[in-house]
Amino acid sequence: MRSSPLVVVRPWYAIGAPQVGTFDSESGAKRHWESSSVLTTSQLCPKDAYMPLAFTPENEESSYHLHGVLPPVVLPMTPDGEIDSESLESHVGHLVAAGVHGLWANGTTGEFYSLDGEGRAEVVRLCAKAAAGRVPVVAHVGDTSTSLAVRHAREAVAAGAAMVSVLPPYFVGFDQDELKRHYRALAHAVDGPVVAYHLPQFIPATLSIDSIVELVADGILCGAKDSSSNMVWFRRLQRRLRDAGTPLPCLTGGSSVADLGYLLGAVGSVSSTGNLTPRHLVRQYEAARKGDWDLVLALQEQSEELIESLTPPGKSAAPGLTNSVYKHLLAVLGRIDSDHSAAPQTQLSDEDRQYVEKHALPVIGRMESAGDHG
Which residues does the annotation mark as catalytic? 197, 225
Cα 180 to chain centroid, rounded: 22
CA distance 55 to 67: 10
Asked if 139 and 105 count as a contact pair (C-beta separation under 8 A), the reply is: yes
CA distance 348 to 216: 43
Q: Which residues pair with 208 in a beta bridge?
A: none
Spatial CA neighbour of 140 closest among 91, 186, 101, 104: 104
CA distance 30 to 69: 23
Residue type, 245: G
Spatial CA neighbour of 19 closest among 56, 49, 51, 46: 56
Spatial CA neighbour of 348 closest among 309, 329, 321, 316: 321
Q: Which residues pair with 21 in a beta bridge?
A: 6, 33
Cα 109 to chain centroid, rounded: 11
Asked if 124 and 139 count as a contact pair (C-beta separation under 8 A), the reply is: yes
CA distance 49 to 30: 28
Q: For strand 194-198 and strand 163-166, is the pairing parallel, antiparallel, or unpaired?
A: parallel
Spatial CA neighbour of 251 closest among 159, 150, 138: 138
Q: Which residues pair with 19 in a beta bridge?
A: 35
Spatial CA neighbour of 66 closest among 159, 196, 187: 196
